[in-house]
Structure 1
Amino acid sequence: MKLGVFTVLFAQQPLEQALDYIKAKGLDAVEIGTGGYPGNAHCDPNELLNDDSKLNAFKKAIESRGLFISALSCHANPLHPQKALAGPDQELIRQTILLAEKLEVSVVNTFSGCPGDSDNAKYPNWPVSPWPNDYQDLLKWQWEEKVIPYWTETGKFASEHNVKIGLELHGGFSVHTPATLLRLREAAGEAIGANLDPSHMWWQGIDPVQAVHILGRAGAIHHFHAKDTTIDPINVSRYGLTDMQSYTQMLDRAWQFRTVGYGHDLKTWADIISALRLVGYDYVVSIEHEDGLMSINEGFSKAVDNLKQVLINDPVGEMWWV
C-alpha cells in the first residue's frame, strides 16, 4: 500500500510548494481536487485539457518529486434538482474523467448526488425512514428516475475512458452505505465503486472493517480515505447520529471528525488496513484532514505518523510455514 494525501488541505499554497512539503513527509501519492466542494486551486480541468504545455508542466511537477496521482476528486451533486446547479456539476465530472484519462489516473472520486422529491423540487431530499410510506415512494422514484439512469450513463462514459468512479459514502447523498453502493453498482456497472472513508461509516453506526469486507469481496473499493471520527456518548443521546448542528459546535455535537488515531486507536486502524489487504486492496490510503481541534499541519503530521505505524507496505510473500 501507498500513503497519500488529499491536497485540498494545502489549497492556500502554490502546487509546487505543497508537493515539496508532502514529499518531505515521506508520502507517495496525491489526490487532487478539480472542482466542486473541494475546489480546483491546484488543478483546473478546463485549463489543463486545453493547454498541453500547462498539462505537461502539471505532470512534471508531480512526477519530478517521485509522487503520483491516486485520484482526481470533484465531489459535487450532479443530481441536484436545480438544473442550473446539476448541469455544471455533471460537466465537471465529465471533464475530470477526460483529464484523468490524459493523466493516466485510474480513479475519479465524487459523490453520488441526491435528487429532490420531484422534477419541480428546489432542494435535495434525503429520505432515511421507511415510514410513512411517502418516503418509500420518494426513494423508489429517485433511484429509478434519477440515480440509476445518470450513473449508468456516466459509468459507461468513464469505462470508455479507462477510468473508475469512486463514490464517497457520505450522509445526505443517495449512495451513503455499502448496500446503496452495491445496489448502484449492480445497476450501473463495475466502473462504479467506493471511495471508502471510515469516518462516515462510524457516524452512521457502521463498522468500517465490515464495510471493507462487504465492498472488498465484491471488488468495489476503488479508493480509500483516512479520516477518523469520535462519538460523544452524552451528546449522541440528546441529538442522535443525524445531529444537524454545525461542525463548529464541537462541544455540543454528537460526533465530530478527527485526525487518524484521535477517534479510534491504532489497533482499530491496523484492523482496517489488514482488512483492506485481505480483500485485495493494495492501492493508496489517502489522508483527509477535517479535525477542528488541530491545525492542518499538526493534524496532517499526526495522521502521517500514525498511519506509517500500521500501513502494510511490502507485497505479500510466500507462506514459508505452510
Structure 2
Amino acid sequence: MKLGVFMVLFGGRKLEDALDYVVSKGLKAVEIGTGGYPGNSHCDPKLLLEDEALLGEFKQRIESRGLIISALSCHGNPLHPQKELALKDHEDLVNSIKLAQKLGVQVVNTFSGCPGDHEGAKYPNWPVAPWPNDYQEILTWQWENKVIPYWKEMGEFATQHGVKIGLELHGGFSVHTPATLLRLREAAGEAIGANLDPSHMWWQGIDPVQAIHILGRRGAIHHFHAKDTVIDPVNVNMYGLTDMQSYGNMLDRAWQFRSVGYGHDVKTWADIISALRLVGYDYVVSIEHEDGLMSIEEGFSKAVDNLRQVLIEEPLGDMWWV
C-alpha cells in the first residue's frame, strides 16, 4: 500500500509548493480535485484536455517528485433535480474520466448523487425511513428512474475509457452504505465501486472493518480515504446519529470528524489496514483531513504519523513458517 493525501486540503497553495510539502512528509500518492465540491484549484480538466503541452507539464510536476495520482475527485450531485446543477457536476465527471485516461489514473471519485422525489422537484430528497410508505415509493422511483439509469450509462462510459468510478459512501446521497453500493454495482456493472471512507461508516453505526470485508470480498473497493470520526456519548442521546447541526457547532454535535487516531485508536486503524490487505486491496490510503480542532498542517501531520505505524507497504512474501 501507498500513503497519500487528498490535495484539496492544500487548495490554498500553488500545486508545486503543495507537492513539495507532501513529498517532505514521505507520501507517495496524491488525490487531485477536479471539480464538484472539492473544486479544481490544482487541476482543471477542461484546460488540460484542450492543451497537450499543459497536460505534459502537469504530469511532469507529479512524476518528477516520485508521486502517483491515486484518483481524480469531482464529488458532486449529477442527479440533482435542478438540471443546471446536475449538468455541471455531470460535465465535471465526464471530463475527469477523460483526463484520467490520458493521465493513466485508475480511479475517478465522486458521490452517487441524490435526486428529488419527482420530475418537477427542486431539491434532493434522501429517504431514510421505510414508513410511512411514501418514502418507499420515493426510493423506488429514484432508483428505477434516476440512480440506476444514470450510473449504468456512466459505468459503461468509464469502462470505455479504462477507468473505475469510486463512489464515496456518504449520508445524504443514494449510495451511502455497503448495501446501496452493491445494489448499484449489480445493476450498473463492476466499473462502479467504493471510495470507502471509514468516517462515514462510523457515524452511520457501521463497523468499517466489516464494511471492508463486505465490499472487499466482492472486489468493490476502488479507493480508500483515511479520516476518523468521534461520537459524543452525551450529545448523541440528544440529537441522534442523523444530527443536523452545523459541523462548526462542535461542542454540541453528536459526532464530528477527526484526524486519524483522534476518534479511534491506532489498534482500530491497524485492524482496518489489515482488513484491506486481507481482501486484496493493495492500493492507496488517501488522507482526508476535516478536523475542526486542528490546523491543516497539524492535523495532516498527526494523521501521517499515526498511519505510518500501521500501514502495510511491502509486498507479501512466502509463509516461511508453513
Report 1:237-276 matches (<5 A): 237-276=237-276
What is the CA distance between 1:92 and its match in structure 2?
0.9
Q: C-alpha distance in 1, partners of 2:48/2:266?
A: 40
Per-residue CA deviation, residues 1-51 of structure 1 (Å, 9 max, x unaligned), is 000000001001000000000000000000000011000000000000001
Letter in 2 for 1:239: Y
Q: C-alpha distance in 2, partners of 1:9/1:134?
A: 40
1:58 aligned partner: 58
Matched, 1:297 2:297: yes
Letter in 2 for 1:184: L
2:185 aligned partner: 185
2:102 aligned partner: 102
Letter in 2 for 1:28: K
Per-residue CA deviation, residues 40-72 of structure 1 (Å, 9 max, x unaligned), is 000000000001111000000000000010000
SS of alignment partner, residue 147 of structure 2: helix
1:284 aligned partner: 284
1:114 aligned partner: 114
Q: C-alpha distance in 1, partners of 2:88/2:290?
A: 26
Per-residue CA deviation, residues 226-264 of structure 1 (Å, 9 max, x unaligned), is 000000000000000000000000000000000000000
Letter in 1 for 2:79: L
Letter in 1 for 2:47: E
Q: C-alpha distance in 2, partners of 1:33/1:88?
A: 15
Matched, 1:227 2:227: yes
Q: C-alpha distance in 2, partners of 1:309/1:282?
A: 17
1:136 aligned partner: 136
SS of alignment partner, residue 186 of structure 1: helix
Q: C-alpha distance in 2, partners of 1:90/1:34?
A: 12
Q: C-alpha distance in 1, partners of 2:90/2:118?
A: 19
SS of alignment partner, residue 309 of structure 2: helix
Q: What CA RMSD, in Å, does the superposition of the two structures yield over aligned residues?
A: 0.3
1:25 aligned partner: 25
| Runs of at least 4 residues off by over 4 Å | none
Letter in 2 for 1:9: L
Letter in 1 for 2:283: Y
Sequence identity (%)? 80
SS of alignment partner, residue 136 of structure 1: helix
Q: C-alpha distance in 1, partners of 2:119/2:201?
A: 31
The unaligned stretches of length 5 or more in structure 1 are none
What is the CA distance between 1:88 and its match in structure 2?
1.1
Q: C-alpha distance in 2, partners of 1:106/1:283?
A: 10
Matched, 1:173 2:212: no
1:69 aligned partner: 69
Q: C-alpha distance in 2, partners of 1:96/1:242?
A: 32
Matched, 1:10 2:2: no
Q: C-alpha distance in 1, partners of 2:90/2:67?
A: 29
Letter in 2 for 1:280: G
Letter in 2 for 1:130: P
Q: C-alpha distance in 1, partners of 2:302/2:47?
A: 35
Letter in 1 for 2:298: E
SS of alignment partner, residue 281 of structure 2: coil
Matched, 1:197 2:197: yes
Per-residue CA deviation, residues 250-306 of structure 1 (Å, 9 max, x unaligned), is 000000000000000000000000000000000000000000000000000000000
Count the aligned residue pairs. Answer: 322
Q: C-alpha distance in 1, partners of 2:295/2:67?
A: 24
1:212 aligned partner: 212
The unaligned stretches of length 5 or more in structure 2 are none
SS of alignment partner, residue 158 of structure 1: helix
Q: C-alpha distance in 1, partners of 2:84/2:109?
A: 22
2:35 aligned partner: 35
Letter in 2 for 1:283: Y
What is the CA distance between 1:205 and its match in structure 2?
0.1
Letter in 1 for 2:259: T
What is the CA distance between 1:91 and its match in structure 2?
1.0
Per-residue CA deviation, residues 185-231 of structure 1 (Å, 9 max, x unaligned), is 00000000000000000000000000000000000000000000000
Q: TM-score, normalised by structure 2?
A: 1.00
SS of alignment partner, residue 294 of structure 2: coil
Q: C-alpha distance in 1, partners of 2:97/2:317?
A: 35
Q: TM-score, normalised by structure 1?
A: 1.00
